[in-house]
Chains A and B, each alone.
Chain A
């Protein structure tokens, strides 16, 4: 095995640099303030303690990882200026930019990353996202408490050189390094303040902005970080994040001119929006799948693939997305959404059939499963309380009733109760679920159905599937790896453990004077790319 020394210069480097600054010739507003609605209140701004999209949106502005993203989602150098990949993808050597600084002026060093990654994997830290770094050598053993964190396959060769050893070739590793859980933390600050270091006046970050103020349930204010290495290209002076959970409320404040962008909008308002402010609507594919899961550990779906297939084929996804949701969601005939890097979607072979053909086969399978109009299936659909979930459940229940005569019972539960029941698998039959990828790779979807995955609430257990996944994790050739994952997905789809319904879209309304906001599949929008045009 020869040494493969590959210098990877990301071409988008030039693109990113020019995209970060406002285009020349545009008149900018005097007040460069950007006001964003951000969903729920973040639990914490510590990258190792937080969970959820709202927190990572803000962390993206406060910190910077080794790799960053251009406005359109392309990977670009972050703190790491360049890197080499050696030993067939098992060793990464990152060269950090010498001008990278923390917000207090300290230089960002390789030791900062070593410290941070050890901290997130330390089971005592209690991080939700330690799994993100699982590809690193010894990471999983450390999480399980079987090894001390010093044995993690990360080394600071010197202040600006970081070496990372992986347990297997991980083609999506660079993409993982944009995730907020891999951000560095300032060691002296964490050690000085302990648990509560991530607060205004204490938090030290290496991102384009610093934490100016945090009034819980009111707002989080960020100010420009003059020590940031690319501050010359940052246009905004202040960013305000508002924790507004109710989409209607956020829309009202947007209409009143108090917000520049919302986090989402209620679909019932779409006709009004299309009529009055169509140019402000942004709908784009989002890396996630909305689906129903079958509980394979209990009747009626245990050992009954024909029944599962019958129900899956009967759902009319075009009606759901076209008439019920109407916000451009994409009907899902497979599990991994389109737009994932280095992957082509795998779909049910009956997607191309006519509705008539599908119903015929579905009815036959339903009969073969032991049910008929005289002996109908009674089944419950369980979902967490939400108008949208209810609409879809009602629609699907009606489709099953009309085509097959199935009797459907709808059960809605509060979120935590729902999660608990789903995980326990004692009472669920069909449950609603959604999976948003943490990183842009097919594996982030495939791994959910691995028999040992913590959120495999269907109880899907197919050794062949597991084996293919594990083989793909070891495969260095991207083309072969893709085929392994596609093969796995084909096998899984043919077992019908889940019922994919649609692929998510991100929805925002954004004021016309906001520039630099580019739709991308991860829906990541760094404030350092944003600028406000004079208005």
Chain B
């Protein structure tokens, strides 16, 4: 297993390098620059700005300079938010998005697995059909439709919850965004769990467990759940990606100062350094998370050998 982890770790670097390179050149291909506005910028001032941020150098020089800085941990100043460095912005935005994302995944897992298991146990019952119908709705309704609806119902018409803002991560401010973010994932996880649980419940070792006279609860929780969760575990990789990209919309709608917003605003503002910083960050995150998930898979399923 350690050998496997090491191989994956080494393989991550070329991936990361490709991500950085692609992102670097792609964002510069987009027309428009960081300092374009609809006010006059005298050519001398433009020239000075270009010089200061090295935008007047040939592209390969800028690239080399950027790589060098990054390897030294310097992600540069933000082009748009001139009073802050990229490291500071990511440092401020990441804990927020992390809290949001982890809470959403935890909620999605809890609710999704429970619902899926219940549906599997009562296969083809009214409960099963209800759960699956809800799952379908959750997958089909995009979260930029669901989120404002939740806002309207629970914050405006029924003034139970705040209508936005982060307030340092206070629980009341977490509720709506986490629900909005988790809903599509709940749907997928419920369906996955149901499907795989139905399969697992048909297998021989479950029949053995039941034949041994074990209480149903023990059969499910101790014996069926672990193998049934394997597809869910592999789904967690793309689920994280989904949460990360979904959070962009949610953060915008609920005015949450997370990383997703910086990403979108950075791209729209052509804030090269900020976008690069977030891309690298997300790249590392997804690679690491996928590695953890794969290792977890190995732990859960005794049949998998690395």
Contact = CB atoms under 8 A, between A and B. Distances in A.
A144 B44 contact: yes
A417 B155 contact: no
A416 B32 contact: yes
A216 B44 contact: no
Interface residues on B, range: 35 or more
B42 A218 contact: no
A402 interface: no
Contacts of B82: 43-44, 46, 49, 195-196
A409 interface: no
A473 B88 CA distance: 46
Contact of A420 (B31, B81, B159, B268): B31
A193 to B, nearest CB: 10
Contacts of A248: 148
Contacts, number: 151
Contact of B268 (A130, A219, A252, A415): A415
B277 to A, nearest CB: 13
Nearest to A253: B163
Contact of B93 (A46, A127, A196, A217): A217
Specify which of A218, A242, A258, A423 lies most central, judged by the most chain B CB atoms within 10 Å of its CB: A218
B83 A46 contact: yes
Contacts of B138: none
Nearest to A259: B163
Given A124-B48, A216-B89, A417 B32 contact: yes
Contact of B261 (A44, A129, A217, A434): A217
B49 interface: yes
B163 A256 contact: yes
Say what secondary structure dominates the interface of chain A: loop
Contact of B30 (A43, A216, A417, A419): A417
Interface string B263-293: 0010011100000000000000000000000
B84 A414 contact: no
Interface in B27-44: 30-33, 36-42, 44
A252 B265 contact: no
A257 B162 CA distance: 9
A98 interface: no
Contacts of B152: 252
A255 interface: yes
A258 B92 contact: no
Interface stretch (B13-21, B100-108, B233-241, B250-258): B250-258
Contact of B39 (A128, A216, A217): A128
Given A41-B265, A218-B165, A218-B255, A420 B36 contact: yes
Interface residues of A, number: 55
Specify which of B36, B151, B163, B257 lies most central, judged by the most chain A CB atoms within 10 Å of its CB: B163
B75 interface: no
B37 A51 contact: yes
A145 interface: yes
B227 interface: no
A14 to B, nearest CB: 36
Contact of B37 (A128, A195, A244, A414): A128
B48 A419 contact: no
Given A41-B81, A415-B268, A419-B32, A131 B164 contact: no
Contacts of B40: 131, 453-455
B31 A417 contact: yes
A141 to B, nearest CB: 10
Contacts of A257: 159
B297 interface: no
Nearest to A199: B83
Given A242-B255, A421-B31, A252 B156 contact: yes
B148 A252 contact: yes
Given A256-B162, A258-B163, A416-B32, A127 B268 contact: no
A219 B164 CA distance: 12
Given A144-B42, A242-B165, A416-B32, A126 B48 contact: yes
A256 B44 contact: no
Interface string B65-103: 000000000000100111111000100110000000000
A258 B44 contact: no
Contacts of A245: 252
Given A216-B93, A216-B257, A417-B30, 12 more contacts: A44-B81, A126-B52, A128-B45, A196-B83, A216-B262, A244-B164, A248-B148, A252-B151, A253-B165, A414-B32, A415-B268, A421-B31
29 contacts: A41-B81, A43-B81, A44-B81, A44-B82, A52-B37, A123-B44, A123-B48, A130-B42, A195-B82, A195-B83, A196-B82, A196-B84, A216-B81, A216-B84, A216-B92, A216-B257, A217-B251, A217-B255, A217-B258, A218-B166, A218-B256, A219-B165, A414-B268, A416-B30, A416-B269, A417-B30, A419-B37, A434-B38, A454-B40
Give 5 nearest A-B pairs by CB, closest first: A416-B32, A454-B40, A256-B163, A217-B257, A218-B257
